[in-house]
Amino acid sequence: MSVPPRQAHDLTLEGGRPLRLRDLKEAGAYVVDDRGRIIEVNPNAERLLLRRAGDLLDHDAHDALHRGRRGEALPHSRCVMRHALISGSTGSGDQEWMERGDGTLIRVSWLVTPCRVDESATGALVIFHPAPDAEDGAAEPPWQNPSLSELERLALLAETTATLTSSLDVDATLRHLVRLVVPLLADWVVVDLVDEEGTISRAVVVHYENGTLTHRDDLQRQLPPVTEDSPMPLSRALRGVTATLISPQSYRMPPDTGIAVAQQDLLAQTGIKSACIAPIRGIREVIGALTLGRSERAQPYTAGDLLLVEDIARRAGLALDNARLYERQRRVAETMQRHLLPRLPVVSGLEMSACYVPAPDASQVGGDWYDAFTQAGGALGLVIGDVVGHDLDAAAGMAQVCNMLRAYAGEMDSLPSTVIGRLDQAVSRMAEATMATVVFARAEPVDGGWRLRWTNAGHPPPLLVERDGTTRFLEDGGGLMLGTGICVPRQDAVVDLPPHSSVVFYTDGLIESPSHSLDDGLERLRKEASALGARKLHGFCDRLLRKVRPDDNDDDVALLTLRVPG
């Protein structure tokens, strides 16, 4: 959709002379704001570029126009026209290419100079026209001499993209970012983040010295809010304005906000002599600022370095935005899961304990659940289950399967196999294909004791633990998992529960891992449960989790333990 042209801006060049774009008779011209977005285009630019002004307004000028000589998109670190935005000085050249509306390229001679676009904001005026024949290989402008060669910069950007997109965890992404830029580009790296409520925190302060990375936790803290009119570099970056080169002199003036005071304190305590500050932008909003600083090395940052840091920050922003979105979805699923898990009922003559633990490091969300409810005749229904998948759909599927099982089990005094058979038919008819494993058991009072009757739909077998440590897996009553669409008879199994015995129901996240076989996990569970059999049930599940769950587990775990007291 085209953006309607904006009202013309009165522009003022550095000498104070006013200029309006329509006054330029031959050259194309456009104006960018302090974020590099096009805010005005003159008619000659439309003619030269074969594009309407409405198709350019509000677009990033570099992304929309700037190309390599073969038409390839260029990283922002190679955009020579952004120099005026970054350094506040005038630049020119005749070796740049722009893409026209029909896909062809035009080589242009250009001049970029800073200007004011309104009372409080600055931008840059770009004037261009078709370039005359010129020798290729013109020297790079002296302002662009970067710390890294062009090949090194491209390699770093490629590594940045590959590394930062390898994780969907915010903390892991920040750790990757630190390792990418320190010590290659900086002695210090500082990351300030804006959370969903708008609170700003100094999340990372790392110093590289004598081959060691030191995390300066003493410098990490919550920062004051950003004001909309502060011209200080960090405030501008946190508002999403263009990247800036700074030195201690940048903060010599009296601070205008609390965040400027914090930045003065940072520069004083770190000894940073030269720094780059770049906004970290997500898809929809600014999510922070990246500061790279040098305190030991004598070479200050150049505008070429700043363009590279800006590109790195842009990639970091996309990675962090994705990680935040993923964690937000995970929190929704986990919250739903926890609210659906029941409060265990109180049943005379029985004890119960249960717990649910999400996957570690925010890596997965699953459909594991447990349930317990009273039935007719004083029986107790017990459920442990796992819906296939690791996402919000799995959690939603778990909720549906859990509720249907409760409804069928409470409808009549039916055998577990009958209830699971009806549930399997219902799952197969669900609009969204769902598969699940489940054990449904009934603890039935019998002659002053308890009997366990159960059926198993493809789930790991419950473990019976007696007081003397004797254990055995309850492997009878097995059948196909739910949702296969194959209708087969299901079987019930029965066992009398001795006094002081326990039955452990669990999901596969307790026993499975990439580095251990299933048999190893089952044996580990048997051994640890045997050692805990004589202990009080309070804390039983927590201790079992600590002892049995593999360190490289990447799944969530649900545990339900039933005990028959003496």
Name the nearest CA neighbour of 352 among 372, 324, 322, 375: 372
The residues facing 465 across adjacent strands are 471, 502
Rounded distance between C-alpha atoms, residue 355 and residue 253, angstroms: 57
Rounded distance between C-alpha atoms, residue 76 and residue 34, angstroms: 15
Structure tokens at 497: 């529960």
Assess whether pLDDT exceeds 60 at residue 143.
no
How large a percentage of the chain has pLDDT more than 70?
89
| Residue 545, CB-side half-sphere exposure with 13 Å CA sphere | 22
Rounded distance between C-alpha atoms, residue 468 and residue 500, angstroms: 9
Whole-prediction pTM:
0.59
Structure tokens at 367: 């459909």
Of the listed ranges 50-54, 172-176, 428-432, the least confidently predicted one is 428-432
pLDDT digits (tens, 9 = 90+) for 179-216: 999 999 999 999 999 998 889 999 999 999 888 899 99
Structure tokens at 377: 């005749």
Helix/strand/coil for 363? coil
Contact between 174 and 181 (Cβ < 8 Å): no
Q: What is the pLDDT of residue 146?
A: 65
Question: Which domains, from first to last, does the chain contain?
Answer: 11-140 (3.30.450.20), 150-331 (3.30.450.40), 341-563 (3.60.40.10)
Structure tokens at 338: 């926890």
Helix/strand/coil for 453? strand
- Residue 337: pLDDT band with limits 50, 70, 90: low
pLDDT digits (tens, 9 = 90+) for 442-484: 999 998 889 999 999 999 999 999 988 899 999 999 999 998 8
**Mean per-residue pLDDT for 264-269?**
92
3 state SS for 17-73: CEECHHHCCCCEEEEECCCCEEEEECHHHHHHHCCCHHHCCCCEHHHHHEECCCCCE
- Residue 145: pLDDT band with limits 50, 70, 90: low
